[in-house]
Amino acid sequence: DADVTQTPRNRITKTGKRIMLECSQTKGHDRMYWYRQDPGLGLRLIYYSFDVKDINKGEISDGYSVSRQAQAKFSLSLESAIPNQTALYFCATASASGADGELFFGEGSRLTVL
Amino acid sequence: AQSVTQLGSHVSVSEGALVLLRCNYSSSVPPYLFWYVQYPNQGLQLLLKYTSAATLVKGINGFEAEFKKSETSFHLTKPSAHMSDAAEYFCAVITGFQKLVFGTGTRLLVSP
């Protein structure tokens, strides 16, 4: 089983619909992140969380919200999806205690908004 | 603010040829730098990292990178490309609190 699991892996939805992408991890890490990948733009940080009570905005948080339900779970929501939110979304985790910044990624959730 | 710039969105090499993927960084403090690889339909995985120890860093699958402060560069190399190296490669720099800032990526194409 993967250490960082994202669901769904693929989703097609319509403009205006609410969408939730879920991430769970078995690595025991405190830090969790949501990134968005677009061709030619690399990965951009949406939100990050250092523990259950800590949520922080990244560089492109507008139109997104997150929930840290437990140490192992971090969900990303699009309250009213729009076509320019079509992208590949990655969840990642990191240990607070070291590893000099290494992030561990899930396999991604591909979202298409029509 | 720390950032990285990857030169070339696509690089094509023949199998057995040298691989060189370029990354330049901008940082007001000594940077921690990373190269990640993304194989098709997969997440990113760490290739190697520079954390201010040795300037020549060796990673997985025969890749290495050299930190050159005078050139603000952290280029990724591999002496001999293999078909399995075809992937997208991302350079990244860490900002405060383990936030990675990624470059725009370079897709490596390997032909027989």
- pLDDT band at residue A64, thresholds of 50, 70 and 90? very high
Q: What percent of chain A stands above pLDDT 70?
A: 95
Quick: pLDDT tens for B4-52: 999 999 999 999 999 999 999 998 777 889 999 999 888 899 999 998 7
How much is the pLDDT for A97? 66
Contact at CB, A44 and B32, closer than 8 angstroms: no
In chain A, which residues have their Cβ closer than 8 Å to the Cβ of B45?
105
Contact at CB, B42 and A108, closer than 8 angstroms: yes
CA of B48: which chain A residue's CA is closest? A102
- pLDDT band at residue A1, thresholds of 50, 70 and 90? low
Task: Look at residue B89 and tell me whether its pLDDT is greater than 70.
Answer: yes
A94 closest CB neighbour out of B98, B101, B102: B98
* Whole-angstrom distance, CA of residue A37 vs CA of residue A86: 10
What would the DSSP string read from start to end of chain B? --EEEEE-SEEEEETTS-EEEEEEEE-SSPPPEEEEEE-TTS-EEEEEEE-SS-SEEE-GGG-EEEEEGGGTEEEEEESS--GGG-EEEEEEEE-GGG-EEE---EEEEEE-
* Measured CA distances, B45 to A67, A94, B3, B48, B59 (Å): 25, 13, 20, 9, 11
A107 at interface of B, judged by CB pairs closer than 8 A: yes
Contact at CB, B100 and A42, closer than 8 angstroms: no
Question: What average pLDDT is seen over chain A?
Answer: 93
> How many Å is the Cα radius of gyration of chain A?
13
- pLDDT band at residue B64, thresholds of 50, 70 and 90? very high
A63 at interface of B, judged by CB pairs closer than 8 A: no
How much is the pLDDT for A99? 53
The maximal CA–CA distance of chain B, rounded, in angstroms, is 43
CA distance B11 to chain A (A): 14
How much is the pLDDT for B1? 77
Query: Which positions ≥6 away from A6 have C-beta within 8 Å?
Result: A21, A22, A23, A89, A90, A91, A106, A107, A108, A109
How much is the pLDDT for B95? 80
* Whole-angstrom distance, CA of residue B9 vs CA of residue A40: 7
Backbone angles phi, psi at B63, to 5 degrees: -85, 150
C-alpha dihedral sign at A55, A48, A31, A5: positive
The residues on B that touch A, with CB distances below 8 Å, are 6, 9, 32, 34, 41-46, 49, 51, 90, 94, 97-105
A5 at interface of B, judged by CB pairs closer than 8 A: no
